[in-house]
Amino acid sequence: MQVRQLFDNQSSTYTYIVWDEASREAAIIDAVIEQVDRDVSLIQQLDLELRYALETHIHADHITGSGRLREYLGCEIGVHLQAGSECADLELVDGDRIQLGSQHLEVLYTPGHTDTDICLLGNNQACRYLVKDFGTSESPKSTRQRDSRYAPIVLRPPRFRIAHCSRAACALLHHDSRK
């Protein structure tokens, strides 16, 4: 699975395009409305078929570009079930798998910044990565749930190394030592 990280300076939002190299099926994660033209252009340059626009959370730190991407490219929008979004095509829950060719993204429910936060764990033969928003927690309950359930994933240095981390998002890479 391939990953391209993009950044919007105005909202300090990281956007990710991930795709299966063989099928060219792709997903975009946390698209920003002001950057939709940039994202569409890159998707076309890379000759990708955008299947999904996924949101790690629903919150006012940026306006999503998912609706516009669906309009332009026909992708489905996925958000966590608890977001209650009327425009979502997919209501995601913990353990769901989003298929991209022979690869997949696994949904991990990780409330923290909001009660609807998810991580997306990508998996292929040699590399796993985790895309997660690590913004300020707004709910003591959600912080407790996140810390107790997913801290072992984030804090195990032998398995993961930080590939990119900021206030807005964090991506962790895991290299399979068997490859």
The string of pLDDT tens digits covering residues 74-100 is 999 999 998 888 889 999 999 899 999
Sequence-ordered alpha helix ranges (H) in 19-139? 36-45, 66-73
CATH of the domain at 68: 3.60.15.10
Q: Which residue has the higher pLDDT, 35 or 135?
A: 35
Reported confidence tier of residue 14, pLDDT bands at 50, 70, 90: confident
pLDDT digits (tens, 9 = 90+) for 126-173: 344 455 544 444 444 444 444 434 332 333 333 333 344 343 344 444
CA atoms within 13 A on the CB side of 39: 32
Give residue 88's pLDDT. Answer: 92
Q: Which residue has the higher pLDDT, 162 or 33?
A: 33
Nearest to 97 by CA among 82, 107, 109, 89: 107
Per DSSP, 34 falls in state G
Q: In 10 A of CB 83, how many CB atoms? A: 20
pTM given for the model: 0.75
Q: Are strands 90-92 and 76-80 parallel, antiparallel or unpaired?
A: parallel
Q: Which residue has the higher pLDDT, 125 or 134?
A: 134
**By mean pLDDT, which of 4-13, 33-42, 62-71, 167-176 is the weakest?**
167-176
The share of the chain scoring above pLDDT 70, in percent, equals 65
In sequence order, what are the beta bridge partners of 17? Answer: 4, 28
Amino acid at 118: I
Total of domains in the chain: 1
Q: Which domain holds residue 147?
A: 2-175
What is the distance between the alpha carbons of residues 164 and 172, in angstroms, rounded to a whole number?
7
Number of H helices and E strands in the chain, helices first, is 3, 12
Contacts 24+ apart (CB under 8 A), 44-47: 46/4, 46/17, 46/19
What is the distance between the alpha carbons of residues 146 and 138, in angstroms, rounded to a whole number?
12
- Cβ–Cβ < 8 Å for 38, 8: no
